[in-house]
Amino acid sequence: MSTVFQLFTISKHSPEPIGIVITPEPTAPEKVQAAWTYAVRMNPKQLNVPDYDAAFKMMLERHPSWRIFQGKVANIHYDRRNLNRTKDEPET
């Protein structure tokens, strides 16, 4: 069974979601946390400024079976207004 994790930026006050990882097998959160921390730490743009693009690239190289996506995840909720729809496309 796959496991999904959300990755966050480094911030003392308000970390921002920056991507997700989907592993093909059950994976301990500590493993993904260690991989993300290592990738960010080993890829600085300059002192105390992480290069997240390089960190994502490193994670893909080191964990080729993981699906890694940069970007935010949209929250999609169930909408009762669409109960009578006959197709899954939005009406225009």
Residue 80 counted as domain residue: no
Residue 53 counted as domain residue: yes
Nearest Cα to 37, choosing from 21, 25, 13? 21
> Which residue shows structure tokens 């960190």?
55
CA 21, 42, 63, 32 torsion-angle sign: negative
Radius of gyration, alpha carbons of the chain: 17
Residue 85 counted as domain residue: no
- Is pTM beyond 0.85 here? no
What's the rounded Cα separation, in Å, for the pair 13 and 1?
A: 34
pLDDT (mean) for 7-14: 90
Please give the structure tokens belonging to residue 32: 């993904």
Residue-wise pLDDT tens digits, 21-53: 999 999 999 999 999 999 999 999 988 889 999
Residue 81 counted as domain residue: no
Domain with 17, as residue range(s), is: 3-73
